[in-house]
Amino acid sequence: MIDFKTIRAAVPTIQAAKDYGLDVGRHGMARCPFHDDHSPSLKLDDRFYCFGCGASGDVIDFTARYLGISPHSAAVKLCQDYGLSPGESNTYNAYIHQSYPNIRRFREDELLCIHILGAYRKLLEDWKERYAPQPDSDIWDLRFCEAMKSLSTVDYLLDCLTIGTLEQRVAMVDSLLVSIIPEMQERLRKEDNAHGRADQSGSGMGGGQEN
Ligand SMILES: [Zn+2]
């Protein structure tokens, strides 16, 4: 695998941000996805910096945080998506547009899958703690059971989407969109309705995932 320095040099943060679905406006400003931002406070160029919440870093930090994956997975993903490999001249525009004319559409679908899987994963993590069996009760909460059952599957799917080859990811996204993702969306929507938005602040990105 290629070193982080090469990735940073090859892919400007602003480019990855746009490609991964962030709406970047004039002067490289965007509404910050890392805090509740009402006007564009995030400045993107080679790196990123948010005037609102102070989030900052390079393209790997951005990708990891934005997609909710580890820095290592983000580096692997950037290499995959921008066709970076050791010993070649790595400019991001060496990308695979020619072999996948619908790549933009695919990326949007893929990002949707990653976001939904990430949100569902967070819900499961929460259930796993909140509804863990108590010593004095012999009934297990169904939500705890669902968490125990599904967390590893969700992790597996996220891993595949992060580090699979393009062909594998295209096939996986196609099949996820048929039923799994709509089911999860429904699940998340019900949960949202049931609890309102319990935690607006703070808990967002950040400490989340380790792999
Ligand atoms: Zn911010």
Cβ-contact 164, 110 below 8 angstroms? no
Same domain, residue pair 82 and 112: no
d(CA 206, CA 211): 14
Residue 200 included in any domain: no
Residue 26 included in any domain: yes
Distance set, CA 3 to CA 40, 101, 187, 193 (Å): 32, 29, 39, 44
Same domain, residue pair 48 and 81: yes
Tokens matching residue 100: 């996948």
Centroid of ligand 1 to alpha carbon of 92 (angstroms): 26
Centroid of ligand 1 to alpha carbon of 12 (angstroms): 19
Q: What is the pLDDT of residue 108?
A: 83
Q: What is the pLDDT of residues 145-161, one digit of tens each?
A: 999 999 999 999 998 88
User: Does residue 92 or residue 11 have the better pLDDT?
Assistant: 11
Q: What is the pLDDT of residues 168-188, one digit of tens each?
A: 888 888 889 988 999 999 989
Residue 210 included in any domain: no
Centroid of ligand 1 to alpha carbon of 200 (angstroms): 14
The gap between the terminal CA atoms of the chain, to the nearest Å, is: 17
Centroid of ligand 1 to alpha carbon of 6 (angstroms): 26
Centroid of ligand 1 to alpha carbon of 109 (angstroms): 25
Same domain, residue pair 80 and 112: no
Q: How many residues does the chain have?
A: 211
| Per-residue pLDDT band at 9 (split at 50, 70, 90) | confident
Centroid of ligand 1 to alpha carbon of 206 (angstroms): 12
| Structural domain count, the chain | 2
Same domain, residue pair 15 and 77: yes
Residue 202 included in any domain: no
Same domain, residue pair 87 and 112: no
DSSP 24: B
Centroid of ligand 1 to alpha carbon of 195 (angstroms): 26
Centroid of ligand 1 to alpha carbon of 41 (angstroms): 6
Centroid of ligand 1 to alpha carbon of 178 (angstroms): 34
Q: What is the pLDDT of residues 16-65, one digit of tens each?
A: 999 888 999 988 999 999 999 999 999 999 999 999 999 999 999 999 99
- Render the burial of 55-86: b for 16+ CB within 10 Å, e for the rest: beebbbbbbbbbbbbeeebbbbbbbbbbbbee
Centroid of ligand 1 to alpha carbon of 98 (angstroms): 35
Residue 150's domain comprises: 103-195
Cβ-contact 176, 120 below 8 angstroms? no
Give mean pLDDT, residues 66-85.
Answer: 88
Distance set, CA 14 to CA 160, 166, 173, 175 (Å): 25, 22, 25, 30
Centroid of ligand 1 to alpha carbon of 138 (angstroms): 44
Show the DSSP H helices in 46-102 as ranges: 59-67, 71-81
Same domain, residue pair 67 and 120: no
Centroid of ligand 1 to alpha carbon of 30 (angstroms): 10
Centroid of ligand 1 to alpha carbon of 31 (angstroms): 8
Domain end marker among 72, 94, 116: 94
For residue 146, give every residue at least 6 positions away whose Cβ sits within 8 Å of its Cβ, in sequence order, or none.
124, 127
